[in-house]
Amino acid sequence: DAKTTQPPSMDCAEGRAANLPCNHSTISGNEYVYWYRQIHSQGPQYIIHGLKNNETNEMASLIITEDRKSSTLILPHATLRDTAVYYCIVRSRTGTASKLTFGTGTRLQVTL
């Protein structure tokens, strides 16, 4: 699987958009980009995933560059409850047996 690079930490003011970058320059054509987050003392939570088109759901938007070498997770109106570690994961689909490997992620601190 392609390796990902994320900044170790970021701050965001409450109510503002939080833009979390992820670099995956070695991504291959059949690899998807997944985002999870982990709020303190909880298990990781799925946010969104995409292949090459931008995606949006009730939690966030995912913007993938045209060359697919990087992506940005956007939380449009960050709240204090969005303070968490955000993991960007690149994973290929290999039949029914596959696994997710988590890196170190970005620690997002949302402040008043």
Partner 1 sequence: DAGVIQSPRHEVTEMGQEVTLRCKPISGHNSLFWYRQTMMRGLELLIYFNNNVPIDDSGMPEDRFSAKMPNASFSTLKIQPSEPRDSAVYFCASRATGRETNEKLFFGSGTQLSVL
Q: List residues binding partner 1 (CB under 8 A).
A: 32, 34, 36, 42-46, 49, 51, 89, 91, 93, 96-104
CB of 94 to partner 1, least distance (A): 10
Residue labelled with tokens 């939380």? 75
> Using CB atoms within 10 A of its CB, is residue 96 exposed (0-12), middle (13-18) or buried (19+)?
exposed
Cα dist from 109 to 62, 103, 104, whole Å: 19, 18, 15
Identify which of residues 14 and 102 has a Cβ nearer to partner 1 in the complex: 102
Least distance from partner 1 to the Cβ atom of residue 31, Å: 10
Q: Of 13 and 39, which has the nearer Cβ to partner 1?
A: 39
Q: Which one, 25 or 57, has the nearer CB to partner 1?
A: 57
3-state secondary structure (DSSP) of residue 25:
coil
- Least distance from partner 1 to the Cβ atom of residue 10, Å: 18
Residue 5 CA, chain-centre distance (Å), reads 11
As a whole number of angstroms, the distance between CA 27 and CA 64 comes to 12
The residue (of 14 and 49) whose beta carbon lies closer to partner 1 is 49
Q: How far is the CB of 67 from partner 1 (least distance, A)?
A: 20
